[in-house]
Amino acid sequence: MLEPEISPQAFAQLRQQPNAPLLLDVREPWEFQTASLPDSVLMPMGDVPSRAHAELDPDVPIVVLCHHGMRSLNVTIWLRNQGFEHVQSLAGGIDAWSRSIDPTIPRY
């Protein structure tokens, strides 16, 4: 099984490949409006239990994103317990992405 977390650097490389993982943003809508990554899917953490099985494919690789990496890690563990084996949390969240990959993404 994959490591529970993926570094921003490793994910930046994966994003450029043809079958890039789905980027699942589990922050709140106001956070998503403040700063988000292109092609990410917003599903606030509180909505994941009611939406995951209807909207996510357990066979598709997924990287979960939040602000600093804690919510996304919790969602990653929950999804794995629900049978989503190809899920990883973006270590450090969008804040780490902004600091190490794309400084044009606002920090908050």
- CB 46: neighbour CB atoms within 10 A? 11
Number of residues written out for the chain? 108
Q: Would residue 32 show up in a list of annotated catalytic residues for this protein?
A: no
Of 6, 66, 90, 96, catalytic: 66
User: Nearest to residue 62, comparing CAs of 35, 81, 90, 95?
Assistant: 90
Question: In whole angstroms, what is the distance from residue 77 CA to residue 81 CA?
Answer: 6
Active site positions, annotated: 66
